[in-house]
Every structure is written in C-alpha cells, then in structure tokens.
Homo-oligomer: A and B are copies of this chain.
C-alpha cells in the first residue's frame, strides 16, 4: 500500500451506528468493514467498549474488532468511556483507543458522569495500563477533546480551556489529542485558530486529527481549513450516517464519499478507490434500508474524465 497524504478514519461503524436504533447484524457489519477496507480505507473505528445495556448496537464490538484484525493493513480503532472499556479494548487487540474528554463540563457530566478532574484521573489510569503493555500489544491512546468548538448545553466553550485540557491529557500520559466538533458548531476560522493554539502549546505531532460533524453543513469547509493547516487525519462516516433523528437533514459526521472527492480532486492521496467506496455504500444501504444516507458525489458521480483509484 502506498503512502497517503490524508488518512480518512471511517467512524461510521461506531459514531454513525451508535445513534441508529435498528441493530445492524454482526455479519453485515463485518462485510461492510471488509468492503470499506477493500476500497482503500486504512483506519476504521469499529465500535465502543461500553456496556451492551447502554448501546445494544455496539454490543458485538469485540467480535467486530477480531474480524477487523484479520484484514491486512487496516488500523482498528475503538472508543472507550473509562478504564474498564480500555481493559476490554486492550484485550481485544485494537490498534488505537480513544476516550472522549468533553471541554464542556456540563456535557461531560451528562455523557460520562464525570468532572474534568475525574476524567483526567481516569485518563492517567488508562495511560498507565496502555503504557505497561509490551510494545507489540500497546495501542495508540488518544484523548478526543469533544465539544471543543461549542456545546449545545453550555454554548461557547473557552479556547484556553481546550488548550489546558489538551496539555493535561498529555501530561496524564495519552499519546495524542484530537479536536472534536461534537455539536457541529465549528467554523473554519475557529478551527484554524484552535489548531494553532493547541499546536503552540503541545507540538504539532500531538494533534494530527479532527473529528467533524455536518450539523450545520460546514463539514467539508471545516475539513478544508484543517487540511490547509496541516492536519493529516480526518474522521468521516460513510453516507454521513448518525446525527439527530429529531432534526431532518442534520446529518452526523462529515460524509466520507464527498470528503474523498474533495481531497483527491485537490491532488492529495487518500488511498481510496471511489467506485469501490460506492460499492461499500451500496452494501451498507442494502443491510440497513431504513437508514437515510447523505452525500452528493455518490449520486452525481465524479466529474466527467475524473477517476479516483
């Protein structure tokens, strides 16, 4: 596999599915993940190690990780809410584990029932566990700074708090932080400013990825701003699945298919074959016929004369 300029981290199987009530059968998830990998996707967040009672959709995460690990060259990422989840993630053999640390403490209390201080203690415990693993079994450990661009409960969040929490997370022993626009509130100017501030505080190598939502249609513009800055990993979900069922058109993550078109059209390599990506979309659509899919390029096709492979 050749080098890529932009790593598209597909989060549909986790962030996309988690807000969808209809449970996707485990066999269909495996086929979908295989199809995504066959299309050239190099990293997939395949699930969350949370109690099955909380998220029945992701109850098969360990089995999905095991399947993903059979696919050569595919980086398998999972989300964990706490130390217990991290233990399970390490046991599963996932290559990368992420924990959300919400910059809005109100959101943190609502989401994981922990204050910032409590979350930082948990992050330190996870880091200790991660870093005590032998090198070949040690996952990459990232803290995702969620609601970093605004919170639907608190409103605007302080940019210096984002920077402080990035510093504190790294001090607690994580390997990297990410910036997450959980509520789809970000704008390109804010992204550039915040990336710059975090880089100044912790170094460019400690923040290489962003996680964006398309709630206000700003997803690709924000991705462009981040890529222009030098961000090299961009999360996206196939068909922009996820989002809030109460807000029609308010999609979830940014759409993988349209992101791949943008990045490749700009002359940057993603490693993705566009037709094979559309085949993976078809496969998902067949397995989950009641899930609305977003994205324009799969319907319009590529511009005449263009190929992405």
Contacts and interface: CB of A to CB of B under 8 A. Distances in A.
A150 interface: yes
B218 A299 contact: no
A265 B299 contact: no
A258 B296 contact: no
Copies in the complex: 2
A250 B299 contact: yes
Interface in A225-251: 225, 247-251
A296 B215 contact: yes
B155 A250 contact: no
A175 B220 CA distance: 33
Most B CB contacts (10 A, CB to CB) among A183, A184, A187, A297 go to A187
Contacts of A304: 150-156
Interface of A is mostly: loop
Nearest to A152: B304
Interface string A255-294: 1001001100111000000000000000000000000001
Nearest to A149: B303
Contact of A184 (B184, B294, B300, B305): B300
Interface of A: 150-156, 183-185, 187-190, 214-218, 220-221, 223-225, 247-251, 255, 258, 261-262, 265-267, 294-297, 299-300, 303-306
